[in-house]
């Protein structure tokens, strides 16, 4: 703990305290997790506050371990003020990229749900679920079969509309939490500034240079985000956003040669 730098130490303490408060004292997720731009629960302050909330002890430990491992070296090189600015910019940037892609994807689902609500039918419901909610499609097969047998039954029609609208409402109200975007930004900076530093990873039995590890990890996150597996609850584009904003900010600082005191 003596090797920790001031900002890293304070960030660790804040994240741990907020986790304890959120878990055992008061629910902070409702008002401070990042919601979809389409959600009535969205508020601008969530681009900052979501970074200090975590979904569980494993989620918290993973992010804080990354901060503990890579943060102090960057803070010693930059100074506390510059490191804090970097941490906040990459965290907010991660939320912005995630929210932008989420808005684009969910806007399409919103339009499809509105179209189905106006023209409900068994065929239309099959199209909606197969294109936008494959997991829900499998779970609704029994209902779909009955709906096809009774396409004009008002009870089936209304229930199908509830399913479609409920799915959309559920999507736009899934909270996004965690410091992962900022941590991936730190990882990106470490790979750019110390590219030949060899890392020893638990899941990889050989040393790997930081530049290769960061590149492979970034490509994986981009791939996983594009795949958009509905059973995957990891915000991969937030990770990509943290790395992207880290790259942009480091390039900007390199050209501006900004001093921080």
The pTM (predicted TM-score) of the whole model is 0.86
Give me the mean pLDDT over the 126-136 stretch. Answer: 88
Q: What angle do CA 193, 194, 200 make, to 5 degrees?
A: 145
How far is 118 from 129, CA to CA, in rounded Å? 16
Q: Which two tokens stand for residue 16?
A: 């741990």
pLDDT single digits (tens) 177-190: 999 999 999 999 99
- Separation between Cα atoms, residue 100 and residue 252, nearest integer Å: 23
Please say if the pLDDT value at position 87 is more than 60: yes
Percent helix, strand, coil in the chain (nearest 5)?
Answer: 75, 5, 25
pLDDT: is 258 or 132 the higher one? 132
Q: 205 in helix, strand or coil?
A: strand
Average pLDDT, the chain: 87
What pLDDT does 261 receive? 44
């Amino acid at each position: 703990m003596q090797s920790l730098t001031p900002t890293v130490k304070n960030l660790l303490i804040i994240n741990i305290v907020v986790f304890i408060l959120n878990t055992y004292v008061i629910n902070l997720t409702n008002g401070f997790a990042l919601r979809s731009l389409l959600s009535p629960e969205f508020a601008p302050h969530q681009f900052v506050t979501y970074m200090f909330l975590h979904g569980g002890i494993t989620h918290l430990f993973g992010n804080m371990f990354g901060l503990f491992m890579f943060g102090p070296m960057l803070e010693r090189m930059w100074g506390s003020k510059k490191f804090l600015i970097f941490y906040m910019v990459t965290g907010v940037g991660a939320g912005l990229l995630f929210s932008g892609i989420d808005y684009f994807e969910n806007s399409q689902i919103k339009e499809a749900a509105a179209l189905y609500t106006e023209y409900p039918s068994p065929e239309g419901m099959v199209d909606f679920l197969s294109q936008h909610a494959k997991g829900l499609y499998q779970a609704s097969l029994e209902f779909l079969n009955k709906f096809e047998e009774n396409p004009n039954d008002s009870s089936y029609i209304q229930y199908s509309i509830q399913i479609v609208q409920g799915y959309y409402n559920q999507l736009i109200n899934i909270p996004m939490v965690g410091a992962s975007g900022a941590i991936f930004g730190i990882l990106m900076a470490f790979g750019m500034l110390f590219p030949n530093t060899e890392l020893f990873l638990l899941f990889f039995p050989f040393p790997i240079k930081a530049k290769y590890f960061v590149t492979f990890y970034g490509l994986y996150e981009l791939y996983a985000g594009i795949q958009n597996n509905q059973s995957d609850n990891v915000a991969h584009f937030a990770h990509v956003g943290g790395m992207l904003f880290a790259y942009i900010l480091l390039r900007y600082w390199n050209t501006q040669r900004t001093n921080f005191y």
